[in-house]
Amino acid sequence: MAFDWREYVKLAHKLSGESETCQPEAEYRSGVSRAYYGAFCYARNRAMASLNYSPARTAEDHRDLKEFLKTHGHAEAASSLDTLRQWRNSCDYDDNVAPKAPDILLYMALLHADAVIQGL
């Protein structure tokens, strides 16, 4: 069944402290997205601080950071970020997340995000 995008609005209400509840899929999808952005921003900041990376502060930074990490000895972190971004895009834009169920995808996303953080 296609995801009901109104569930994200319900989740936003829930996160604001209101009592509204949402379907778990909204939480799982949001978790995948947050895992990507947490890992991406951490990797960006570490690369800036220790490898002299200079982001353009544009959408291309997502691609550019991965390429930078690859050329500076962090290919595994770059690969994990690539995988996370694909999953994040699926969770943020696709009606149906495939081939994994959203809860399994979140579990896998957390493993990848942790690997990025530990690898840098």
Q: Measure Cα distances from 47 to 26, 38, 116 in Å.
A: 31, 14, 12
In a domain, 99, yes or no: yes
Task: Compute the average pLDDT of residues 10-38.
Answer: 86
Which is more confidently placed, 59 or 23? Answer: 59
pLDDT at 113 over 80: yes
In a domain, 22, yes or no: no
Q: Give tens-digit pLDDT for 65-96.
A: 999 999 999 999 999 999 999 999 999 999 99
Total domains in the fold of the chain:
1
Task: Compute the average pLDDT of residues 15-27.
Answer: 82
- For 107, other C-beta atoms within 10 Å of its C-beta total 15
In a domain, 91, yes or no: yes
From the CA atom positions of the chain, what is the Rg in Å? 16
Which pLDDT band, with edges at 50, 70 and 90, does 19 fall under?
Answer: low
Helices (H), the chain: 6-15, 24-51, 61-71, 75-93, 102-119
In a domain, 3, yes or no: no
The pTM of this model reads 0.88
In a domain, 12, yes or no: no
Q: Give tens-digit pLDDT for 36-69.
A: 999 999 999 999 999 999 999 999 999 999 999 9
In a domain, 15, yes or no: no
In a domain, 10, yes or no: no
- Residue 114: which domain range? 27-119
Q: Give which of 66, 67, 107 is closest to 87, Cα–Cα.
A: 107
Q: Give which of 24, 2, 20 is closest to 10, Cα–Cα.
A: 20
In a domain, 46, yes or no: yes
